[in-house]
Amino acid sequence: MNKLTLNFYNSATLQVAKNLLGKIIHFYGKKIIINETEAYIGQDDPACHAAKGLTARTEVMFGRAGVSYVYLIYGMHYCLNFVTEAENFPAAVLIRGGYCPITNQYINGPGRLCKHLGITKNHNKIDIVNNEHFFLTEGIIVLPEAIHQTSRIGISQGLGACRESI
DNA sequence: GAATAGATCCGC
DNA sequence: CGGATCTATTCA
């Protein structure tokens, strides 16, 4: 199984969000097949954390693609994102749900997904292109007609059609 | 330094 | 539908 390379992430965010469906996240021996993602694109996207500009929190998104962006939300849950596109263009894809082939269970929601894998803010800013414990590989083939595109969930502004799911 | 909103989940 | 519970950002 070959890791996905920088080329995969360094591309249009909406396309990456779509391409991530069916891919496998490897995290210290655990695996998740992605079946739901959301794109957060640039400073013109009001729902994107980086819309307010460069801060200590959002600087990851301004960096190179293929890096993890993990943050704590509502004081309880971690959310896993992968940074996309070129440097100085803040964009990322939120992993909202997946399927765990080890425990045979579906995982809905970014908070539960991180809890399942054991992801915390310690795993923020990890280069997943060159890491041996945390990376992605090709997974199942997803037919384009199997992909649903809807508006994003849990946000109050920027309700674009940026959510991809199988 | 205080207030507040937030890419959520769970239990009632 | 409200509570849990922390962080980044904004305002005084």
Residues A21-71 pLDDT 10s: 999 999 999 999 999 999 999 999 999 999 988 998 999 999 999 999 999
Cα separation, A76 vs A80, whole angstroms: 14
Q: Smallest CA–C1' separation from A109: which nucleotide?
A: B8
Please count the other Cβ atoms lying within 10 Å of the Cβ belonging to residue A29.
7
Q: What is the pLDDT of residue A160?
A: 87
Instruction: List bases in chain C with any atom under 7 Å of a protein Cβ.
Output: 4-10
Q: What is the pTM of this model?
A: 0.95
Q: Please measure the distance between the N-terminal and C-terminal CA atoms of chain A and give it in whole angstroms.
A: 22
Q: What is the pLDDT of residue A158?
A: 87
A143 touches strand C (CB under 7 A): no
A56 touches strand C (CB under 7 A): yes
A148 touches strand C (CB under 7 A): no
- Residues A112, A99: contact at Cβ < 8 Å? no
